[in-house]
Protein backbone atom coordinates (compact mmCIF):
# COMPACT_ATOMS: atom_id res chain seq x y z
CA UNK A 1 0.00 0.00 0.00
CA UNK A 2 1.34 3.45 -0.89
CA UNK A 3 2.42 5.64 2.02
CA UNK A 4 -0.01 8.38 3.01
CA UNK A 5 1.02 11.73 1.55
CA UNK A 6 1.66 14.39 4.20
CA UNK A 7 0.87 18.06 3.66
CA UNK A 8 2.32 21.08 5.46
CA UNK A 9 -0.69 23.29 6.15
CA UNK A 10 0.75 25.79 8.62
CA UNK A 11 4.12 27.31 9.48
CA UNK A 12 5.20 29.55 12.33
CA UNK A 13 8.53 30.95 13.43
CA UNK A 14 10.24 33.17 15.96
CA UNK A 15 13.77 34.25 15.05
CA UNK A 16 16.03 37.24 15.38
CA UNK A 17 14.51 38.47 12.09
CA UNK A 18 11.17 38.85 13.87
CA UNK A 19 8.08 36.95 14.91
CA UNK A 20 6.51 35.06 12.03
CA UNK A 21 7.38 32.80 9.12
CA UNK A 22 6.71 35.75 6.79
CA UNK A 23 9.40 38.02 8.26
CA UNK A 24 11.84 35.10 8.32
CA UNK A 25 11.40 34.60 4.59
CA UNK A 26 11.14 38.24 3.51
CA UNK A 27 14.11 39.50 5.47
CA UNK A 28 16.32 36.52 4.66
CA UNK A 29 15.51 36.88 0.96
CA UNK A 30 16.32 40.59 1.24
CA UNK A 31 19.79 39.64 2.46
CA UNK A 32 19.27 40.82 6.02
CA UNK A 33 20.76 39.37 9.16
CA UNK A 34 19.95 40.22 12.75
CA UNK A 35 23.06 39.86 14.87
CA UNK A 36 23.98 41.95 17.88
CA UNK A 37 27.28 41.24 19.58
CA UNK A 38 27.72 38.28 17.24
CA UNK A 39 24.45 36.60 18.34
CA UNK A 40 21.02 36.28 16.78
CA UNK A 41 18.86 37.13 19.78
CA UNK A 42 15.12 37.72 19.47
CA UNK A 43 15.50 41.17 20.99
CA UNK A 44 12.01 42.41 20.11
CA UNK A 45 10.16 39.23 21.01
CA UNK A 46 6.94 39.80 22.97
CA UNK A 47 4.86 36.79 24.03
CA UNK A 48 1.91 38.99 25.03
CA UNK A 49 -0.20 38.57 21.88
CA UNK A 50 -0.29 34.79 22.37
CA UNK A 51 0.27 34.37 26.13
CA UNK A 52 -1.29 35.99 29.16
CA UNK A 53 1.01 37.59 31.73
CA UNK A 54 0.45 34.62 34.04
CA UNK A 55 1.27 32.12 31.29
CA UNK A 56 4.43 34.01 30.40
CA UNK A 57 5.58 33.93 34.05
CA UNK A 58 5.08 30.16 34.14
CA UNK A 59 6.97 29.31 30.95
CA UNK A 60 10.64 29.48 30.04
CA UNK A 61 11.72 31.64 27.12
CA UNK A 62 12.26 28.65 24.82
CA UNK A 63 8.72 27.47 25.55
CA UNK A 64 7.32 30.95 24.85
CA UNK A 65 9.00 30.87 21.44
CA UNK A 66 7.37 27.51 20.70
CA UNK A 67 3.91 28.60 21.87
CA UNK A 68 3.98 31.75 19.75
CA UNK A 69 5.25 29.90 16.66
CA UNK A 70 2.64 27.17 17.17
CA UNK A 71 -0.16 29.73 17.45
CA UNK A 72 0.89 31.17 14.09
CA UNK A 73 1.17 27.75 12.46
CA UNK A 74 -2.22 26.56 13.73
CA UNK A 75 -3.93 29.78 12.71
CA UNK A 76 -2.38 29.53 9.25
CA UNK A 77 -3.63 25.96 8.95
CA UNK A 78 -7.13 27.15 9.77
CA UNK A 79 -7.35 25.37 13.10
CA UNK A 80 -9.65 27.08 15.59
CA UNK A 81 -11.05 26.22 19.00
CA UNK A 82 -12.58 23.12 17.45
CA UNK A 83 -9.85 20.88 16.08
CA UNK A 84 -10.39 19.55 12.55
CA UNK A 85 -9.48 16.07 13.82
CA UNK A 86 -10.19 13.99 16.89
CA UNK A 87 -7.81 15.28 19.61
CA UNK A 88 -6.52 11.75 20.17
CA UNK A 89 -5.42 11.67 16.53
CA UNK A 90 -3.22 14.77 16.73
CA UNK A 91 0.42 14.38 17.83
CA UNK A 92 2.76 17.07 19.16
CA UNK A 93 6.52 16.61 18.81
CA UNK A 94 8.89 19.49 19.55
CA UNK A 95 12.66 19.10 19.65
CA UNK A 96 15.14 20.99 21.81
CA UNK A 97 18.80 20.63 22.55
CA UNK A 98 18.95 22.40 25.90
CA UNK A 99 15.40 23.13 27.10
CA UNK A 100 14.69 25.71 29.79
CA UNK A 101 18.21 26.96 30.36
CA UNK A 102 17.19 30.46 31.48
CA UNK A 103 14.96 29.01 34.20
CA UNK A 104 17.73 26.72 35.43
CA UNK A 105 20.28 29.55 35.56
CA UNK A 106 17.87 31.88 37.36
CA UNK A 107 16.89 29.33 39.98
CA UNK A 108 20.52 28.23 40.53
CA UNK A 109 21.27 31.86 41.37
CA UNK A 110 18.26 31.99 43.70
CA UNK A 111 19.42 28.82 45.45
CA UNK A 112 22.93 30.19 45.98
CA UNK A 113 21.71 33.57 47.21
CA UNK A 114 18.59 32.73 49.23
CA UNK A 115 18.62 29.03 50.00
CA UNK A 116 16.46 26.08 48.96
CA UNK A 117 13.22 27.51 50.34
CA UNK A 118 13.33 30.28 47.74
CA UNK A 119 13.59 27.99 44.70
CA UNK A 120 10.45 28.07 42.57
CA UNK A 121 8.28 24.94 42.67
CA UNK A 122 7.68 25.59 38.96
CA UNK A 123 11.37 25.23 38.10
CA UNK A 124 11.19 21.62 36.85
CA UNK A 125 8.07 21.97 34.65
CA UNK A 126 9.55 25.17 33.23
CA UNK A 127 13.02 23.84 32.48
CA UNK A 128 12.24 20.30 31.30
CA UNK A 129 12.99 19.93 27.60
CA UNK A 130 9.54 18.47 26.86
CA UNK A 131 7.83 21.60 28.24
CA UNK A 132 7.29 23.08 24.77
CA UNK A 133 5.52 19.97 23.45
CA UNK A 134 3.55 19.61 26.68
CA UNK A 135 2.46 23.27 26.76
CA UNK A 136 1.41 23.30 23.09
CA UNK A 137 -0.58 20.11 23.60
CA UNK A 138 -2.16 21.49 26.78
CA UNK A 139 -3.03 24.84 25.23
CA UNK A 140 -4.64 23.38 22.10
CA UNK A 141 -6.03 20.13 23.48
CA UNK A 142 -3.82 17.79 21.45
CA UNK A 143 -4.14 14.31 22.97
CA UNK A 144 -2.14 12.13 20.60
CA UNK A 145 1.48 11.12 21.10
CA UNK A 146 3.50 13.98 22.55
CA UNK A 147 7.18 14.16 23.35
CA UNK A 148 10.47 16.01 22.93
CA UNK A 149 13.19 14.86 20.57
CA UNK A 150 16.62 15.62 22.04
CA UNK A 151 19.37 15.09 19.46
CA UNK A 152 21.37 18.31 19.59
CA UNK A 153 21.22 20.30 16.35
CA UNK A 154 19.13 17.65 14.57
CA UNK A 155 16.35 17.69 17.16
CA UNK A 156 13.91 19.92 15.28
CA UNK A 157 14.32 18.06 12.00
CA UNK A 158 13.96 14.69 13.71
CA UNK A 159 10.78 15.84 15.45
CA UNK A 160 9.38 16.75 12.02
CA UNK A 161 10.44 13.37 10.64
CA UNK A 162 8.83 11.59 13.58
CA UNK A 163 5.57 13.42 12.89
CA UNK A 164 5.72 12.36 9.25
CA UNK A 165 6.10 8.73 10.27
CA UNK A 166 3.19 8.86 12.73
CA UNK A 167 0.86 10.14 10.02
CA UNK A 168 2.11 7.70 7.40
CA UNK A 169 1.68 4.76 9.77
CA UNK A 170 -1.90 5.74 10.50
CA UNK A 171 -1.23 6.42 14.17
CA UNK A 172 -2.13 10.09 13.73
CA UNK A 173 -4.06 12.22 11.25
CA UNK A 174 -2.09 15.37 12.01
CA UNK A 175 0.95 16.50 13.97
CA UNK A 176 2.25 19.79 15.34
CA UNK A 177 6.02 19.51 15.02
CA UNK A 178 9.21 21.54 15.20
CA UNK A 179 11.86 22.79 17.58
CA UNK A 180 12.57 25.55 20.10
CA UNK A 181 15.70 26.87 21.80
CA UNK A 182 16.80 29.80 23.96
CA UNK A 183 20.48 29.14 24.67
CA UNK A 184 22.11 32.51 24.00
CA UNK A 185 23.61 32.37 27.46
CA UNK A 186 27.04 33.44 28.75
CA UNK A 187 27.82 29.93 29.97
CA UNK A 188 26.81 28.31 26.66
CA UNK A 189 28.75 30.96 24.77
CA UNK A 190 31.85 30.30 26.87
CA UNK A 191 31.57 26.53 26.45
CA UNK A 192 31.25 26.66 22.67
CA UNK A 193 34.00 29.24 22.43
CA UNK A 194 36.37 27.11 24.50
CA UNK A 195 35.47 24.10 22.37
CA UNK A 196 36.53 25.99 19.25
CA UNK A 197 33.05 25.81 17.67
CA UNK A 198 31.86 29.39 18.22
CA UNK A 199 33.14 32.24 16.10
CA UNK A 200 35.50 34.37 18.24
CA UNK A 201 34.97 37.32 15.88
CA UNK A 202 31.17 37.04 15.66
CA UNK A 203 31.32 37.64 11.91
CA UNK A 204 31.72 34.13 10.49
CA UNK A 205 29.76 33.20 7.35
CA UNK A 206 29.01 29.59 6.35
CA UNK A 207 31.05 28.25 3.42
CA UNK A 208 33.25 31.36 3.31
CA UNK A 209 36.99 30.90 3.11
CA UNK A 210 37.47 33.05 6.23
CA UNK A 211 34.83 31.39 8.43
CA UNK A 212 35.87 30.74 12.02
CA UNK A 213 32.87 29.13 13.71
CA UNK A 214 29.14 29.48 14.15
CA UNK A 215 27.13 32.31 15.70
CA UNK A 216 24.48 31.48 18.29
CA UNK A 217 20.83 32.23 17.70
CA UNK A 218 17.52 31.52 19.42
CA UNK A 219 13.90 31.01 18.44
CA UNK A 220 11.47 28.35 17.27
CA UNK A 221 10.02 26.84 14.13
CA UNK A 222 6.72 24.95 14.07
CA UNK A 223 4.92 23.16 11.22
CA UNK A 224 1.44 21.68 11.06
CA UNK A 225 1.44 18.35 9.23
CA UNK A 226 -1.75 16.68 8.04
CA UNK A 227 -2.74 13.63 6.06
CA UNK A 228 -2.87 15.17 2.58
CA UNK A 229 -6.22 13.62 1.63
CA UNK A 230 -7.83 14.81 4.86
CA UNK A 231 -6.34 18.29 4.41
CA UNK A 232 -7.74 18.56 0.88
CA UNK A 233 -11.11 17.27 2.04
CA UNK A 234 -11.43 20.05 4.60
CA UNK A 235 -10.17 22.67 2.14
CA UNK A 236 -6.99 23.41 4.09
CA UNK A 237 -4.32 25.71 2.68
CA UNK A 238 -1.36 23.55 1.62
CA UNK A 239 2.05 25.24 1.75
CA UNK A 240 4.10 22.21 0.76
CA UNK A 241 4.34 18.44 0.93
CA UNK A 242 6.70 16.72 3.34
CA UNK A 243 7.78 14.04 0.92
CA UNK A 244 10.73 12.29 2.53
CA UNK A 245 12.82 11.83 5.66
CA UNK A 246 15.79 9.77 6.79
CA UNK A 247 18.22 9.83 9.68
CA UNK A 248 21.51 8.19 10.61
CA UNK A 249 24.30 8.31 13.17
CA UNK A 250 28.02 8.79 12.53
CA UNK A 251 29.25 6.78 15.56
CA UNK A 252 32.50 8.68 14.97
CA UNK A 253 32.99 11.35 17.65
CA UNK A 254 30.88 13.07 20.31
CA UNK A 255 31.19 16.53 18.76
CA UNK A 256 33.07 16.35 15.44
CA UNK A 257 31.29 15.08 12.33
CA UNK A 258 32.74 12.20 10.34
CA UNK A 259 34.91 14.07 7.80
CA UNK A 260 34.19 11.45 5.14
CA UNK A 261 30.47 12.19 5.46
CA UNK A 262 29.38 8.64 4.60
CA UNK A 263 26.78 8.24 7.35
CA UNK A 264 25.32 11.68 6.60
CA UNK A 265 25.31 10.79 2.91
CA UNK A 266 23.30 7.69 3.79
CA UNK A 267 20.67 9.96 5.35
CA UNK A 268 20.65 12.07 2.18
CA UNK A 269 20.19 9.01 -0.02
CA UNK A 270 17.59 7.60 2.35
CA UNK A 271 15.52 10.77 2.29
CA UNK A 272 15.56 10.84 -1.51
CA UNK A 273 14.55 7.17 -1.65
CA UNK A 274 11.78 7.80 0.87
CA UNK A 275 10.46 10.58 -1.36
CA UNK A 276 10.84 8.44 -4.47
CA UNK A 277 13.13 10.89 -6.25
CA UNK A 278 16.68 11.14 -7.56
CA UNK A 279 19.28 13.92 -7.08
CA UNK A 280 18.29 15.29 -10.51
CA UNK A 281 14.82 16.07 -9.09
CA UNK A 282 16.17 18.57 -6.53
CA UNK A 283 15.90 22.32 -7.13
CA UNK A 284 17.26 23.73 -3.85
CA UNK A 285 19.21 22.72 -0.74
CA UNK A 286 18.81 24.53 2.56
CA UNK A 287 22.09 23.37 4.08
CA UNK A 288 22.96 22.96 7.75
CA UNK A 289 25.96 25.19 7.02
CA UNK A 290 27.11 26.28 10.47
CA UNK A 291 30.25 28.17 9.53
CA UNK A 292 32.64 25.84 11.34
CA UNK A 293 35.40 24.44 9.17
CA UNK A 294 34.71 20.85 10.24
CA UNK A 295 30.95 20.99 9.65
CA UNK A 296 31.10 22.75 6.29
CA UNK A 297 33.69 20.32 4.96
CA UNK A 298 31.86 17.25 6.27
CA UNK A 299 28.53 18.50 4.92
CA UNK A 300 29.99 19.22 1.48
CA UNK A 301 31.49 15.72 1.46
CA UNK A 302 28.19 14.16 2.53
CA UNK A 303 26.19 16.02 -0.09
CA UNK A 304 28.69 15.07 -2.78
CA UNK A 305 28.56 11.41 -1.76
CA UNK A 306 24.78 11.48 -1.54
CA UNK A 307 23.99 13.51 -4.66
CA UNK A 308 26.94 12.87 -6.94
CA UNK A 309 27.50 15.09 -9.95
CA UNK A 310 24.04 16.66 -9.57
CA UNK A 311 25.21 18.63 -6.50
CA UNK A 312 27.18 21.17 -8.54
CA UNK A 313 24.04 22.49 -10.23
CA UNK A 314 21.63 22.56 -7.26
CA UNK A 315 21.27 26.04 -5.63
CA UNK A 316 22.45 25.86 -2.03
CA UNK A 317 22.36 28.28 0.90
CA UNK A 318 22.45 28.41 4.70
CA UNK A 319 19.86 30.36 6.69
CA UNK A 320 22.23 30.48 9.66
CA UNK A 321 23.93 33.49 8.05
CA UNK A 322 20.70 35.40 8.79
CA UNK A 323 19.55 34.08 12.17
CA UNK A 324 22.47 32.19 13.69
CA UNK A 325 22.69 28.61 14.88
CA UNK A 326 19.56 27.76 16.87
CA UNK A 327 20.92 24.40 18.11
CA UNK A 328 17.88 22.16 18.73
CA UNK A 329 15.59 24.54 16.85
CA UNK A 330 17.90 24.88 13.83
CA UNK A 331 16.45 22.05 11.74
CA UNK A 332 12.90 23.19 12.42
CA UNK A 333 13.49 26.86 11.59
CA UNK A 334 15.36 25.84 8.45
CA UNK A 335 12.49 23.54 7.46
CA UNK A 336 10.14 26.51 7.84
CA UNK A 337 12.52 28.61 5.72
CA UNK A 338 12.55 25.85 3.09
CA UNK A 339 8.75 25.62 3.05
CA UNK A 340 8.55 29.39 2.55
CA UNK A 341 11.22 29.32 -0.16
CA UNK A 342 9.22 26.72 -2.09
CA UNK A 343 5.91 28.47 -1.48
CA UNK A 344 7.25 31.82 -2.71
CA UNK A 345 9.48 30.26 -5.38
CA UNK A 346 12.52 32.13 -4.07
CA UNK A 347 15.68 30.80 -2.37
CA UNK A 348 17.23 32.94 0.37
CA UNK A 349 20.97 33.62 0.12
CA UNK A 350 23.83 32.73 2.42
CA UNK A 351 24.03 36.32 3.59
CA UNK A 352 27.54 37.76 3.54
CA UNK A 353 29.12 34.98 1.47
CA UNK A 354 31.70 36.71 -0.71
CA UNK A 355 34.64 34.32 -0.94
CA UNK A 356 33.46 30.68 -1.11
CA UNK A 357 35.98 28.16 0.20
CA UNK A 358 37.33 26.33 -2.88
CA UNK A 359 38.20 23.32 -0.74
CA UNK A 360 34.48 22.56 -0.49
CA UNK A 361 34.40 21.78 -4.20
CA UNK A 362 31.94 22.91 -6.84
CA UNK A 363 28.80 24.23 -5.14
CA UNK A 364 26.09 26.47 -6.60
CA UNK A 365 26.08 29.02 -3.76
CA UNK A 366 23.08 31.34 -3.56
CA UNK A 367 24.61 34.72 -2.68
CA UNK A 368 21.61 36.87 -3.59
CA UNK A 369 17.96 35.82 -3.57
CA UNK A 370 17.29 33.53 -6.50
CA UNK A 371 13.99 32.60 -8.20
CA UNK A 372 13.31 28.88 -8.05
CA UNK A 373 12.02 27.30 -11.23
CA UNK A 374 11.28 23.66 -11.95
CA UNK A 375 12.44 23.88 -15.58
CA UNK A 376 10.15 21.05 -16.53
CA UNK A 377 11.65 18.70 -13.91
CA UNK A 378 8.53 18.04 -11.88
CA UNK A 379 7.35 20.10 -8.88
CA UNK A 380 9.87 22.25 -7.02
CA UNK A 381 11.65 20.02 -4.53
CA UNK A 382 14.15 20.87 -1.81
CA UNK A 383 16.43 19.19 0.70
CA UNK A 384 16.81 20.48 4.27
CA UNK A 385 19.74 19.01 6.19
CA UNK A 386 20.61 18.88 9.90
CA UNK A 387 23.66 17.46 11.64
CA UNK A 388 24.11 17.47 15.40
CA UNK A 389 26.62 16.86 18.19
CA UNK A 390 26.69 13.14 18.86
CA UNK A 391 26.76 12.39 15.14
CA UNK A 392 23.01 12.74 14.54
CA UNK A 393 22.08 13.31 10.90
CA UNK A 394 18.56 14.17 9.71
CA UNK A 395 17.43 15.06 6.19
CA UNK A 396 14.01 16.24 5.02
CA UNK A 397 12.65 16.39 1.47
CA UNK A 398 10.00 19.05 0.87
CA UNK A 399 7.99 19.56 -2.29
CA UNK A 400 6.14 22.70 -3.36
CA UNK A 401 2.38 22.60 -3.44
CA UNK A 402 0.76 23.35 -6.80
CA UNK A 403 -0.01 27.01 -7.33
CA UNK A 404 2.47 28.53 -4.88
CA UNK A 405 3.11 32.23 -4.93
CA UNK A 406 5.52 34.04 -7.17
CA UNK A 407 8.23 35.99 -5.36
Q: What residues are annotated to the active site?
A: 153, 288, 325
Give the 3-state secondary structure of residue 386: strand
Whole-angstrom distance, CA of residue 43 vs CA of residue 26 = 18
Looking at the chain, how many residues does it have?
407
Closest by CA position to 288, among listed 268, 269, 308, 274: 268
In this structure, the dihedral spanned by the alpha carbons of residues 385, 343, 95 and 102, taken in order and rounded to 10 degrees, is 110
Whole-angstrom distance, CA of residue 139 vs CA of residue 234 = 23
DSSP state of 35: -
Give the 3-state secondary structure of residue 183: coil
Are residues 389 and 255 in contact, defined by beta-carbon separation less than 8 angstroms?
yes
Q: Can you count the helices (H) and strands (E) in the chain?
A: 13, 14
Whole-angstrom distance, CA of residue 215 vs CA of residue 208 = 14
Amino acid sequence: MAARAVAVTGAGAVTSLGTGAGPLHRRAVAGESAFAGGEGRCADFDPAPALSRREARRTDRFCQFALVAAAEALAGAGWGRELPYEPERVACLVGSGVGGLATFETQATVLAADGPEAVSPLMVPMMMANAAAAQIALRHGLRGESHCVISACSAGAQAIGAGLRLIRSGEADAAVVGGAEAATSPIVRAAFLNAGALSPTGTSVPFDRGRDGFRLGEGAGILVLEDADAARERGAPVLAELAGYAASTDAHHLTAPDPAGESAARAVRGALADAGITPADLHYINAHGTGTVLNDRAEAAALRRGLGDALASIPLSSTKSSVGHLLGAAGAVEAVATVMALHHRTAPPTVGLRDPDPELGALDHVTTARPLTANGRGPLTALSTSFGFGGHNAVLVLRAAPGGRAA
